[in-house]
Amino acid sequence: MDTMKFYILDNGWETLDKSYFIAGANAATASDRNPVNEWIDIPIQAYLITSEYGNILFDTGCDVDWKKNWPEFIPEQSPYFVTEEQYLLNRLGQLGLEAKDIDYVIISHLHVDHAGNLYHFTDSQIFVNENELVQTLKGYATNRDLDVHVPSDIRRFIDAGLNWKTLGDEVAEYELIPGVTILNWGSGHSFGMLGMKVELKNTGNLLVAADALYCRENIEPEIKVPGILYDSLGYKRTAKKIVEYARETESKILFGHDMEQFKALKKSTEGYYD
């Protein structure tokens, strides 16, 4: 654990209406019947852990060929901006790593901005919530309920023949290596959500919430559901659980897409947390 390093990989950004993040943000009221919507910037990120027990990647960012592959509604709903140096594989390359050097990939869920490069990791063991994988494959086969699960991402990770390790909802926690625990939260934002706790010697504990909590405003001053949501009760249950777990374990919550928090964090080009 002494040699564990935690890197934050900046994979570009999206812009979108705030109501996708906070349901009902800037809702009309009797005295303000036509409020102006808020258009916000959000970071797209992944995390890398290097350690003597292996290298772990948490999430994989967006497809670099998004212009060609995404359904039209996605860049219309949330335009994506990325430079070549921000591509996930280039971010790994800047640290001297290739896809084959990653022992474990933890995929928080299979949405467009998390699973876009998953198909590259054919030598890794891939951790995913079981329902997330099953429902995504069902959606792909039936062409229904895909939401922001993208068919081209799904087709490629099927074709790649990945080495999946699915976590059923009965597995609440899974210690992957000493100091890294996968947290299995079940349905909420999507069909099944994974998070991660990382115990770092100097930094302390980090709790990677991914899209189980988009941003600080989803929990402060109280829990607010986002506009992209599969199971609202599961979402609230998870949000409460994360806040309590972070308090009990003295962990700093890393939100999934919080631009204010992201700007203040050290990115992989600047260094790492240990």
Question: Which residues lie near Zn ion (CB under 5 A)?
Answer: 111, 211
Nearer to Zn ion, 111 or 120 (CB): 111
Minimum distance of Zn ion from residue 250's CB (angstroms) = 27
Report the nearest approach of Zn ion to the CB of residue 181 (Å).
Answer: 21
Measured from the CB of residue 107, what is the shortest distance to Zn ion in angstroms?
11
Residue nearest to Zn ion (CB): 111
User: Of 14 and 211, which has the nearer Cβ to Zn ion?
Assistant: 211
**Cβ of residue 74: shortest distance to Zn ion, in angstroms?**
12
Give CA 155 to chain center in angstroms: 20
Give the number of other CB atoms < 10 A from CB of residue 102. 23
Q: Which residues of 149-164 are buried (b: 16+ CB within 10 A; e: fewer)?
A: bbebbbebbeeeebee
- Cβ closer to Zn ion: 18 or 111? 111
- Give the list of residues 6+ apart from residue 242 with CB closer than 8 angstroms, or none: 185, 195, 207, 209, 212, 213, 219, 253
List the structure tokens of 270: 């600047």
- Closer residue to Zn ion in complex, CB, 54/71: 71
Give the helix/strand (H/E) hosting 68: helix 66-69
Min dist CB 150 to Zn ion, Å, is 11
Concatenating the DSSP letter of every residue in 189-254 gives: SSSSEEEEEEEETTTEEEEEEETTS-SGGGTSSS----SS-S-HHHHHHHHHHHHHHHHHTTEEEE
Q: How far is the CB of 200 from Zn ion (least distance, A)?
A: 25
111 or 224: CB nearest Zn ion? 111
Q: Based on CB atoms, which residue is closest to Zn ion, 156 or 189?
A: 189
The dihedral through the CA atoms of 159, 164, 166, 172 has a sign that is negative
